[in-house]
Amino acid sequence: MNSGFRNLLVRRDTTRFKAYFLAIALQMLMLPFLDLLGVVKLSTPAFYPLGATLGGFLFGLAMNWGGGCAGGVWYKLGSGSIGAFVVIIGLITGYITMENGALKSLRLFIQSIGRRESTEAMTLTNVLNLSLSWLAVPLALALLVFLLKRPPFNSEKGWSWRTTGLVVGAIGIIAWVASSLSGRFFGMAIMQGSKDAFDALTSGGNSSLSWDLFFVLGIPIGGYLSASRQGQFHWSNISGAAIWKLVGGGFVLGASASLAGGCTVGHGLTGIPLLSIGSIAFTVFAILGAWAGVYLSKNS
What are the residue ranges spanned by the domains of the chain? 2-298
Which is more confidently placed, 300 or 124?
124
Q: What is the pLDDT of residue 5?
A: 81
pLDDT in tens, 241-287: 789 899 999 999 999 999 999 999 999 999 999 999 999 999 999 99
Higher pLDDT, 299 or 185: 185
- Predicted confidence band at 216 (pLDDT cuts at 50, 70, 90)? very high
Q: Is the pLDDT of residue 153 over 80?
A: no
> What was the pLDDT predicted at 208?
76
Q: What share of the chain is helix, strand, coil (3-state, %, to 5)?
A: 70, 0, 25
Average confidence (pLDDT) over 71-77: 95
Higher-pLDDT residue of 207 and 289 is: 289
What is the percent of the chain where pLDDT is above 90?
A: 76
State the SS3 of 206-230: HHHCCHHHHHHHHHHHHHHHHHHHC
DSSP state, 269?
I
DSSP symbol at 190: S
Sign of CA dihedral 225, 226, 231, 236: negative
Residue 115 has pLDDT above 70, yes or no: yes
Q: Write down the pLDDT at residue 159.
A: 84
Is the confidence at residue 9, as pLDDT, over 90? no
What global pTM score does this model have?
A: 0.94
- Mean pLDDT, the chain, rounded, equals 91
Phi, psi of 236 (to 5 degrees): -100, 145
Query: 168 pLDDT exceeds 90?
Result: yes
Residues 6+ apart with CB under 8 A from 17: 4, 8
Q: Residue 237's pLDDT is what?
A: 78
pLDDT at 92: 97
pLDDT at 198 over 70: yes
Rounded-to-integer distance, Cα 282 and Cα 285, Å: 5
pLDDT of residue 118: 62
pLDDT bucket at 121, cuts 50 / 70 / 90:
confident
Lowest mean pLDDT among 61-65, 106-110, 180-184, 227-231: 227-231
